[in-house]
Amino acid sequence: MAVATDSRGMHMRKRDPFEAASAQLEEAYSMKEKMAFAAFSILEEHLSDFSSMLISGLGDRARAVRWMCMHHKALEGRNAYQVIADGEADRLWEEATRACGLAD
C-alpha cells in the first residue's frame, strides 16, 4: 500500500482502488445472494411442488436457488423467474424436469 504525506507532514495511507472495487463487488454479491434466497422463498410459498422437485432433482436448496437465477439458453436467455412472470410456467416445468434428469 502506498503511503503519502499530508500538508502537515503526517503519513496517510492511500486507498487502493482495487480494495474499494473488491469491497463493492463483495457487497453486490452478498446482496445478490440474499435476493436469490428471498426469491426462492417466494417460489416455495407459491409453487411448492415445483420448488420441491428442483431441490430434490438438483440435490439441495442452494443449487435450486442458483438454477432459478441462471440465464438459460433453452429459455431464450431468461432466468426461471422471468419465464414464470411471462406466464410460461408449463415450459419451465419441462426445462426443469430435463435439468433434474426426470424427463421422459
Task: Render pLDDT for 72-93 as a digit per residue (tens, 0 to 9).
Answer: 999 999 999 999 999 999 999 9
Instruction: Please state the domain extents for the chain.
Output: 15-99
C-alpha cell at 88: 410460461
**Residue-averaged pLDDT of the chain:** 90
The pTM for the full model equals 0.78
**Contact call for residues 53 and 44 (beta carbons, < 8 A):** no
Task: Please write the tens of the pLDDT for every residue from 55-71.
Answer: 999 999 999 999 999 99
Three-state DSSP string of the chain? CCEEECCCCCEEECCCHHHHHHHHHHHHHHHHHHHHHHHHHHHHHHCHHHHHHHHHHHCCHHHHHHHHHCCEHHHCCECHHHHHHCCCHHHHHHHHHHHCCCCC
